Amino acid sequence: MTSSVIKDLNLEIRPLQLRDLDGVEQLVNQVLADDHEKQANHLRKTLMAFRQWYGLLKLLRLFPNPTQDRFCLYVAARGEVIYGLIHVSPFNRTRTTWRVEKILVNPALPAGEKLIPAQDVGSHLLRHCLETIWEARTWLLEVNVNDNESLGIYRQNGFQPLAQLTYWAIAPDLLKHLAATPPTVPNLLPVSNADAQLLYQLDTVSMPPLLRQVFDRHILDFKTPFWQALLDNLKKWFNQQERVQGYVFEPQRKAAIGYFDLKITKNGVKAHKAQLTVHPAYTWLYPELLSQMALAVQDISPQTLLLASADYQPEREEYLEKLGAERTEHTLLMSRSVWHKLRETKHLEGLQLSDVLQGLQPARTPVPSRMSWMRHFQHHKPAQGGENGAEHPPEAHS
């Protein structure tokens, strides 16, 4: 993690430090109001863990570890005043695609400070991550369709829309109604690391090619590492959370045609969360897998089940609408490619032809390549015999 200084704005962009936490927490409480309570709680938990484990995290940064990217936060500051914050994280295990979790910009600065446009601060924070995290080839983010300020920052920095996502909330009474009908799901199997190949193939076929290229998932992304399994067990004991996974196997095609990942909250405070993937040719699995998840939570205190759908999944949205699920949020998935990693040190208008063609200049004096092959061949041409073995007399030269 490196830091940079923006001379024209007199701002320093650096990794989050312990002395920045008070200003950052104040920024989170000020910018993220009640309508962003979910994002605010996520950031508060991250900052609280950063404060509690700062010494250990500083030691762990000396060698690779699973937590090295969880606290990838940068701040834009002038002295002790925090102007903005950006939180990023890797999206896949190969770290070729990174995700922008959130950008926060201080809308009101203390008296006497020079006001800086919020869009400029957000753009500099974003471009700092694009330039310093060199292993990222593609950047991904998700933004609410009504967040015009963030949309302006992302579009200004080259992000293009990929898909539209809709988040649904299934009420407890609907879950009870689904659980009343026993699902008929043949070959429903539990998920293990041995099934990663099947889940990878299902994920590949269930999304458009452009989205598949941006996500850049591999078989490794569908395997649960040891530390993640240990963390899930700790959450199950201390936070009363449980994770249930299952997939539907098609024996004739020898492929997975449906998959669900359900995170159950047993304390009755938070809603259940589910991730659902269905093969486009087997959309009849939507009600069956939802009934299966409703059965898994029927013996727990009534809670809402949160589920997402994309605009390239019309059958899922149609079923959820018919079921009576409530739309809670509408977001836009955006991406930008930085494969080439251009360093913008010169403006294209000021480049001279000699600067552009520096690599095409000859390194030494060129060697003549034109030779009189015919004359060389005739001079060294051996004598050939006729049919009787006699040599032909030399041709007379005029």
Mean pLDDT computed over 70-75: 87
Q: How many Å is the Cα radius of gyration of the chain?
A: 31
Q: How far is CA 207 from CA 94, 164, 308, 318, in A?
A: 20, 13, 14, 18
Which ranges in 209-333 belong to alpha helices (H)? 209-215, 226-238, 285-296, 314-323
Residues 61 and 194 in one domain: no
pLDDT tens-place string over residues 262-281: 999 887 778 999 999 999 99
pLDDT tens-place string over residues 317-344: 999 999 999 999 999 999 999 865 434 3
Residues facing 78 on adjacent strands: 81
**Predicted pLDDT of residue 349:** 42
**Predicted pLDDT of residue 142:** 94
Mean pLDDT computed over 89-101: 93
Which range, of 142-151, 159-168, 262-271, averages the lowest pLDDT? 262-271
Residues 154 and 169 in one domain: no
Residues 247 and 289 in one domain: yes
pTM over 0.85? The answer is no
Residues 89 and 64 in one domain: yes
Number of structural domains the chain divides into: 2
**Predicted pLDDT of residue 299:** 84
pLDDT tens-place string over residues 293-324: 999 998 888 899 999 999 999 999 999 999 99
Residues 88 and 136 in one domain: yes
Listed residues 98, 132, 158: the one ending a domain = 158
Q: Which two tokens stand for residue 339?
A: 């494969």
**Predicted pLDDT of residue 374:** 52
pLDDT higher than 50, residue 288: yes
Mean pLDDT computed over 212-234: 87
Distance, CA of 250 to CA of 84 (rounded, Å): 50
> 103: part of which helix (H) or strand (E)?
strand 97-105
pLDDT higher than 80, residue 221: yes
The confidence band for 170, taking pLDDT boundaries of 50, 70 and 90, is: very high
pLDDT higher than 80, residue 25: yes
pLDDT higher than 90, residue 126: yes
Three-state SS at 208: coil
Distance, CA of 296 to CA of 264 (rounded, Å): 9
| Phi, psi angle pair for 361, to nearest 5° | -75, 140
Residue ranges making up the domain that contains 289 = 165-337
CATH of the domain at 313: 3.40.630.30
Is residue 45 classed exposed, middle or buried when 0-12, 13-18 and 19+ CB atoms within 10 A define those classes?
A: exposed
| Domain-embedded: residue 366 | no
**Predicted pLDDT of residue 160:** 94
The confidence band for 291, taking pLDDT boundaries of 50, 70 and 90, is: very high
Determine contact, residues 165/333, Cβ cutoff 8 Å: yes
| Domain-embedded: residue 396 | no
Residues 177 and 153 in one domain: no
Listed residues 311, 337, 363: the one ending a domain = 337
Residues 141 and 269 in one domain: no
Residues 30 and 141 in one domain: yes
